[in-house]
Chains A and B, each alone.
Chain A
Amino acid sequence: MANRRCLSNFTRHCQSLLSSNASVHNLRTLPHLRTIAAFEPLSVVPTSQSHDIRDLESIFVIQPGFLRHFSSGRRNSEGSDDEDDEDHDGGEVEEDEDEEEEMGESSDGDGQDRNARVSNCAVSRSYSLEEKEAEAAAIGYKVIGPLDPLERPFKHREEAFAVVQIGSHQFKVSNGDNIYTERLKFCEVNDKLILNRVLMLGSRTQTIIGRPTLPEAIVHAVVEEHALDAKVIIFKKKRRKNYRRTKGHRQELTRLRITDIEGIQKPEKVKVAKPEKVKVGKLEKEILEKPEKEAVAA
């Protein structure tokens, strides 16, 4: 009984301390509670109780939300007399200990969940690690190159096309094209991008088809604009049922300008006498030659 009363007083002191300063920082002051336990009249503080105190401490070093919940149940008992509290708490302490342990375990899990949720929010916000940015860029099949200082990367239109995949959309692009894609997260305006998921290349003399992608083909692009699409009005109505909903939506887009296609032979505008044959060594690519279009005089 004496042990239980000591524990009840101890727990009440804990709550009074912790409910008054409900912050994690003050949980570090828990070692002070041992001195408080020493000042109590009834407490002799045997070794077993110190062990229990340490257990309670370990349970108390959790988020203050748990403690607030716990102490709100206890505050009712603090208002009444001490004797009644002791008798009342005498039977309750064991249950409370069990409750503490149970709630401690559950709140450990909750605390971890809360921590996990907080950390997930932090990760989705900032992507502080460059590796994360690289991973996300790989999902979108783009790699961010350096910015564009005073360069003029735009060339004249060449007679070569590439089929490039960004996310789940495929585009047949050529030099100097504009394409609108879904908003690409990790690039600013005037960034150079490398689109490395290329499915097919074609030019006047060669066609290269990948299965499914071409490993050595690269398409360079520059981010021109991060824009919003035109507004669409989403309107839902059920007739004769008094139900009508209106909502507006603007999709976020990115406009890219394609500057260069690498990995294919682009013949000069001067006519070449013979079409060139290229042997295929790998199983992944298939290169076919095309006859010169003599009838088509450019």
Chain B
Amino acid sequence: MNKKKIFKLAKGFRGRAKNCIRIARERVEKALQYSYRDRRNKKRDMRSLWIERINAGTRIHGVNYGNFMHGLMEENIQLNRKVLSEISMHEPYSFKALVDISRNAFPGNKKVELPPKKEGLAILV
């Protein structure tokens, strides 16, 4: 019965690893080890992805990620990065409001506020 389970887990493997039990067993064990490790890595990767997206969203408005988060912390806004990245993607106006709050709270980027175009939101519209 164990062979059946191994072959079921070995679906989609390359070459003999999906057909021959000796090779499949090794590869399946390795795959399970990788999945154990990657369940922990996924949390790290997702967080860095969210930070990249927030960074991109704030730089449209002339604020970089570090100053943005610092401003939010000053204002005691406890939104986490997952939600902030979702807002930056799907709710641009709300995200601009957040950026403005952060900019007022932590005046690190007031000089760099206006990008050369006439209004930052013109890109979105």
Contacts and interface: CB of A to CB of B under 8 A. Distances in A.
A25 to B, nearest CB: 53
A212 B72 CA distance: 10
A211 B75 contact: yes
Interface in A194-241: 199-200, 202, 207, 209-213, 232-237
A235 B27 CA distance: 13
Given A202-B91, A207-B94, A290-B93, A235 B36 contact: yes
Contact of A202 (B35, B76, B94, B100): B94
A235 B29 contact: yes
A210 B32 CA distance: 43
**Interface on chain B toward A: helix, strand, loop, or mixed SS?**
helix
A200 B86 CA distance: 13
Q: Which of A199, A211, A235, A296 has most B Cβ within 10 Å?
A: A235
A289 to B, nearest CB: 9
A207 B101 CA distance: 12
B36 A234 contact: yes
A293 B96 CA distance: 15
Q: Which of A165, A209, A244 has most B Cβ within 10 Å?
A: A209
Contacts, number: 64
B63 interface: no
A288 B95 CA distance: 11
Interface stretch (B10-18, B77-85, B108-116): B77-85
Interface in A234-262: 234-237, 244, 246
B-side interface size class: 20 to 34
Contact of A170 (B33, B83, B101): B83
A280 interface: no
A93 interface: no
A66 interface: no
Given A235-B32, A237-B33, A207 B93 contact: yes
B101 A200 contact: no
Interface of B: 29, 32-33, 35-36, 39, 75-80, 82-83, 86-87, 91, 93-94, 97-98, 100-101, 125
10 contacts: A200-B83, A202-B87, A207-B94, A209-B97, A210-B77, A211-B75, A211-B77, A237-B33, A286-B101, A290-B97
